[in-house]
Structure 1
Amino acid sequence: MVRVVLQRLALLIPTLFGLSILLFLWVRALPGGPATALLGERATPAAVARINALYGFDKPLIQQYLAWIGQLLKGNFGASTRTGVPVLEEFIQRFPATIELTIVALLIAVGIGIPLGYVAARHHGGLIDQGTVVASLVGITIPVFFLAFLLKFVFAVQLGWFPSSGRQDPGMIATHPTGFYVLDGLLTREWDASWDALLHLVLPAIALGSIPLAIIARITRASVIEVQNADYVRTARAKGLKPPRLRRRVVLRNAMLPVATTIGLQVGLLLSGAVLTETVFAFNGIGSFLANAVFNLDYAVLQGFVLFIAVVYALVNLAVDVSYGLIDPRLRVR
């Protein structure tokens, strides 16, 4: 297993190199440019040329790419053309918010999706199964931004059950040593701050986790149905294996392999969906900052943030591959 992990980590280097080239060319192919977005109505040819010369955008693409890669190797992601703040500094400030939101959304998706899919498979063809199929189809088809607006309007504006925006109440005085607001409240024993941060997470996490929840439920249902009709399950049942042990050790465990793969793939969906969700709820994370960077054609922010998200996605998929050996001992590689 260690050898496999090292091989995957080594493969990550050429993968990121290829991605950096595609990312660099894609950003440069966007219509307009940072100078035009920065200057707005004052974007005269002379002013645009001056801004391009200031940031080196007037140089050949190969020189721009080599300069960017050279900075990355030194740990320098550049600075935002809009604010002048280093990208790494913005990332450190906003990264905890997006990770906190993604973790809660993933917990909702996995915590509800797997039991729901399993129960639907146990009652295959019944009302519970049909209701789960219909609900999962609805969950997949509803756009994230529409569900976010709907949840915000109903539960925040009309009912007032949850906050409508932000990560914490502006009047809340709290200490944030890590930037993870819920965790910070627990570490500093500021229970009211932790609870308030958790309330601010509920609506955006439900909106963000709705599509992954529906997908995980459908995959779990299909996988459990397939496994419980397998020959080795019928053999174990015929040998007198007790139903609870049969369901837990044989059916559910063997059905988890495709589910684990699906969960790993959903992390990328959660990170991309955070752009819309954080924008709707004014959640100060990577997603909202990335949306502003796209609007302002902020090359340094787009390149740095997308490349980092790719690294996170690759590491999550590596963790999924490692989990295969924990779920099924036959897949363990020494």
Structure 2
Amino acid sequence: MRWGEIIRRLVLVPPTLFGVGAIVFVLLRVVPGDPIAMMIPPGASEADIVRLRAFYGLDLSIPRQFAIWLGQVASGDFGHSISLHQGVLGLLLSRLPATLELALLATLIAAALGVLTALSGILLRGRRAEWAVDGGVGVLLAIPDFLWALILLLVFGVLIPWLPISGRIDPQIDVTLHSNFYLIESLLTGRFDVVSALLHHMILPALALALPFAALVARLLKTSLAEAEDQDYAQIARARGFSRPSILVREAFPNALIPTVALGGVQVTLLLGGTVLVERIFSYEGIGNMAIDAVINRDFPLIQGLVLTFAVLFIALNLLVDFVVALLDPRLRHG
């Protein structure tokens, strides 16, 4: 990727975030529902309602509210949560690491399963066993991540209760870490008891997110490997006496990886969006679970902060995918 392209993409980030923020801000205030009506006690007076609306700035016009909120965001203040009575930025920073670690683990599982399945399918090319591999991939693709979450919860949480089905870590475990990136920090500091407890809680939601993604990676990579295997360089390597597995791994795989990363990278953003329902099902303490509570409670400041956070993550992931593709593809790297 050229430096000019990188700069152009970065210049478009602020207008994109501004547009996302403006659309969400206006939509929240024009759709039916009043957050103040949901938080006041049954015996509250009209004066109490007016006072709360003024406290949260909801008595002002929408353009005026947006201008005030935009100024606050520019200074690093995302407002105060109506339902949780805490600063939105602090809530996001406390919950975001859990979601990022879950998405990272799901991506690693999906990549490993997808690559192994694709290589198995291409090695069985032309045989009856290939149908079984393709059929399994089709089943994984047909079932969405939230349904996989329910299936895994039922099987490994109820029928065969091997794994915990709620929370991020056991409450009795002493987690004295410096950051909210529990898994990464505990790995770096050698707290393997914490690592084991975290993985026991993360494996089911991570698998639910990973299985459809792994199927997509397997299908994309297998198709790319089949195309690469028919290219001239693969035929020449075969004529020189190289074995088929060697040709697939050394010659076809690096070239087949480029379109797989380019197309599969888009799925990472969808996987991140899928954490909303999966975290809810497993009561996982991430921003996805918090987003559902924010919508139910009509918590305007928290919803706005969450939407901006997801927007930043999506933009960053797309930039990262483009950068990785440019590194893998010499044609893009050298412009």
AA partner of residue 219 (structure 1):
L
- Which moves more between the two structures, 276-285 or 259-268? 259-268
Aligned to 2:184: 183
Distance 1:187 1:230, change over 3 A: closer
Give the superposition deviation at 1:47. 5.6
Cα deviation digits, residues 265-317 of structure 1 (max 9, x gap): 12211221111111111111111101100111111111111111111111111
Alignment of 1:297-316 (within 5 A): 297-316=298-317
How far apart in 1 are the matches of 2:291 and 2:62?
Answer: 23
TM-score (norm 2): 0.91
Distance 1:86 1:240, change over 3 A: same
Alignment of 1:260-279 (within 5 A): 260-279=261-280
Give the superposition deviation at 1:150. 2.0
Cα deviation digits, residues 99-158 of structure 1 (max 9, x gap): 111111001111111221232133234334322222222222223223212212221233
Aligned to 2:253: 252
Give the superposition deviation at 1:169. 1.1
How far apart in 1 are the matches of 2:12 and 2:265?
Answer: 18
Instruction: Decide whether the 8 Å contact of 1:227 with 1:233 is kept in 2.
Output: yes
Instruction: Decide whether the 8 Å contact of 2:225 with 2:248 is kept in 1.
Output: no
- SS of the aligned residue for 2:40 comes to helix
Give the superposition deviation at 1:183. 2.6
- Which moves more between the two structures, 125-134 or 145-154? 125-134
Distance 1:83 1:127, change over 3 A: same
Instruction: Decide whether the 8 Å contact of 1:175 with 1:185 is kept in 2.
Output: no
Q: Which runs of 5 or more structure 1 residues have no equivalent in the other structure? A: none
- Which moves more between the two structures, 247-256 or 205-214? 247-256
Q: Which runs of 5 or more structure 2 residues have no equivalent in the other structure? A: none
Give the superposition deviation at 1:161. 1.4
Give the superposition deviation at 1:205. 0.5
How far apart in 1 are the matches of 2:27 and 2:258?
Answer: 35
How far apart in 2 are the matches of 1:42 and 1:116?
Answer: 61
- SS of the aligned residue for 2:59 comes to coil
Instruction: Decide whether the 8 Å contact of 1:77 with 1:304 is kept in 2.
Output: yes
- SS of the aligned residue for 1:176 comes to coil
1:51 aligns with 2:52: yes
How far apart in 2 are the matches of 1:44 and 1:221?
Answer: 66
How far apart in 2 are the matches of 1:42 and 1:257?
Answer: 63
Give the superposition deviation at 1:75. 0.6
Distance 1:26 1:271, change over 3 A: farther
AA partner of residue 325 (structure 1):
A
Distance 1:242 1:126, change over 3 A: closer
- Which moves more between the two structures, 23-32 or 90-99? 23-32
- SS of the aligned residue for 2:12 comes to helix
Cα deviation digits, residues 28-54 of structure 1 (max 9, x gap): 343213123323766887665443332
Please report the RMSD computed on the Cα atoms of aligned residues, expressed in angstroms: 2.3
Give the superposition deviation at 1:246. 3.0
Distance 1:42 1:129, change over 3 A: farther
Query: How many residue pairs align between the two structures?
Result: 334
Instruction: Decide whether the 8 Å contact of 2:145 with 2:278 is kept in 1.
Output: yes
What fraction of aligned residue pairs are identical, expressed as a percent?
37
1:145 aligns with 2:146: yes
Instruction: Decide whether the 8 Å contact of 1:208 with 1:274 is kept in 2.
Output: yes
Alignment of 1:1-334 (within 5 A): 1-39=2-40, 48-238=49-239, 243-333=244-334
How far apart in 2 are the matches of 1:45 and 1:141?
Answer: 52
